[in-house]
């Protein structure tokens, strides 16, 4: 299957700083990418949909100014957690979709963010 790579896999940052997470589709062009958040022992929750060349669409309750998404090319989307606080500590996972109809979205390996 297609490969989606996230970087970094783990990051520890100080409270108040910003952290950027990258999601790359390695062997296909992703028209759409999705960002999810997963707290320990919980399920994945969709945060936003990232479309190449246009603004991201955020799910209800997700602060767009807090979680900045940029999808500058068909192979790269970035999620920036701005002014991070301990409650932002979580597992962030992206997925990338190649086509539009009946195509699966491939998930990255996730990024463990710890804010201290």
C-alpha 86/C-alpha 109 separation (Å) is 22
**Beta partners for residue 45, in sequence order:** 37
Based on the shown chain and the rule CB under 8 A, indicate whether residue 2 belongs to the binding site for other proteins. no
CB of 66 to other proteins, least distance (A): 20
- Asked if 27 interacts with other proteins (CB under 8 A), we say no
Beta-carbon count within 10 A of 110 CB: 18
Interface residue with other proteins among 1, 54, 65, 87 (CB under 8 A) is 1
Please report, for residues 4, 57, 63, the alpha-carbon distance to residue 66 in angstroms, rounded to integers and kept in the order given: 24, 14, 5
Residue of 49, 70, 82, 114 that binds other proteins (CB under 8 A):
49
Which residues would be at the binding site for other proteins (CB under 8 A)?
1, 4, 6, 32, 34, 42-46, 49, 91, 93, 95, 97, 100-110, 112
């Amino acid at each position: 299957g297609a490969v989606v790579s996230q970087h970094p896999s783990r990051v520890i940052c100080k409270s108040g700083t910003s952290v950027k997470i990258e999601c790359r589709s390695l062997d296909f062009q992703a028209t759409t990418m999705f960002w999810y958040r997963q707290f320990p022992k919980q399920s994945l929750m969709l945060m936003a949909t990232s479309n190449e060349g246009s603004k991201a669409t955020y799910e209800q309750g997700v602060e767009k100014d807090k979680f900045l998404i940029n999808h500058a090319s068909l192979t790269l989307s970035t999620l920036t957690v701005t002014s991070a606080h301990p409650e932002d500590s979580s597992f962030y996972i992206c997925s990338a979709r190649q086509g539009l109809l009946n195509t699966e979205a491939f998930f990255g390996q996730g990024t463990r963010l710890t804010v201290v």
